[in-house]
Amino acid sequence: MRIGVLCSGGDAPGMNPCIRAIVRAAYVKGHTVVGIKHGYRGLLEEEFFIGADGRPEMSGRDVSGLTCRGGTILYSSRCPQFATEEGVRKAVENLTRNKIDALLPIGGNGTLSGARDLGKVWNGQIIGLPGTIDNDLRGTERTIGFSTAIQTAVEAIDKLRDTAGSHDMMFLVEVMGRHCGDLALATAVAGGCEIVSVPEIKTSIPAIVDRLNFFRKSGKKSMIMAVAEGDDSGGAYKMLEMLKAAGSPYEMRVVVLGHVQRGGVPCADDRILAARLGCRAVEALGEGETGKMVGLVKGEIKLTPLEEVIVDHHEITPSMTEILGLLAT
């Protein structure tokens, strides 16, 4: 079987170990792997990874040393053209011409929506792999990259806390995650933040200011609030203006963590997840599976139909917000 593999959307730490797992598991099973560069854009432009032996195929040696490398050696992109009928038609044409029997796209919500659309018109097999710091997919408890991104954000918060404490002030730390608050919430709990705002819960400025006044009266001199970039307040800068206007008792500053959360050496958890998902995806192709995503469900790697994993709003874990509230007092 000739298996195409690509990374699409925002890069995530752990994509490289996942590519390594796919290539090596496929080799053992006698398959050939074609690396498609720059995600769906590379599929439309027929841009393939050229291996050490000069052929457009990936060998076990081409993926040496990838366990500890952030980013993706296949490169990534966002490709609006692929979201059109014409784009999908061209992708089918290119997959057929290059004799690719199966596709393993690694990415988040947008990537797997694209995979679902492709599956409606292409006869080949498709198994998606969840690779995004956002953790915005159903059918998996964690996406590849999520754990490393939490660690990166928490390390930044630990440093900011020193300055917040030294200057009696409050930092509003904007955390990535597009429409999903999982990264902000996990960061807030691990970083000991006093308050968090996420897209899944409506923001009430008066309630936050009440809470800040309570903290101030109880003797807290400094404060860290995690703000999800997709929060309905419009992000940390807007949040600061609204809190100021509503009478926040703290001097406030904004820090936007931004793309720093997407890079870095993947942590052990992401590497293990990437290895398990990559191997299972190849195995699933051998079983004739298609139109599904591999994901971590109750400690096991399971397959879930692509249709079910793509959601606008991933539910957050209510106990996490409760823990945060409890520990912040």
CB of 298 to ligand F6P, least distance (A): 25
CB of 290 to ligand F6P, least distance (A): 25
CB of 229 to ligand F6P, least distance (A): 6
Nearer to ligand F6P, 9 or 14 (CB): 9
CB of 258 to ligand F6P, least distance (A): 8
Measured from each CB, the residue nearest to ligand F6P is 10
Nearer to ligand F6P, 125 or 147 (CB): 147
CB of 176 to ligand F6P, least distance (A): 3
Nearer to ligand F6P, 9 or 130 (CB): 9
CB of 106 to ligand F6P, least distance (A): 13
Nearer to ligand F6P, 102 or 149 (CB): 149
Nearer to ligand F6P, 10 or 128 (CB): 10
Per CB under 6 A, residues contacting ligand F6P are 9-10, 78, 108, 132-134, 176-178, 229, 262
The catalytically annotated residue of 117, 134, 182, 231 is 134
Nearer to ligand F6P, 2 or 78 (CB): 78
- Partners of 196 in beta bridges: 226
* Catalytic residue status for 134: yes
Residue from 25, 7, 4 nearest 122 by CA: 4
Contacts of 19 (CB under 8 A, 6+ apart): 5, 7, 35, 58, 63, 66, 72, 73, 74, 106, 278
CB 101 within 8 A of CB 1: yes
- What does the CA dihedral 266, 270, 276, 281 come to, rounded to 10 degrees? -80
Q: Which residue has the tokens 């919500």?
A: 109
Instruction: State how far the Cα of 215 lies from the Cα of 164, in Å rounded to an integer.
Output: 15
Nearer to ligand F6P, 67 or 77 (CB): 77
Residue from 47, 68, 44, 48 nearest 56 by CA: 48
CB of 22 to ligand F6P, least distance (A): 21
Tell me which residues are annotated as active site: 134
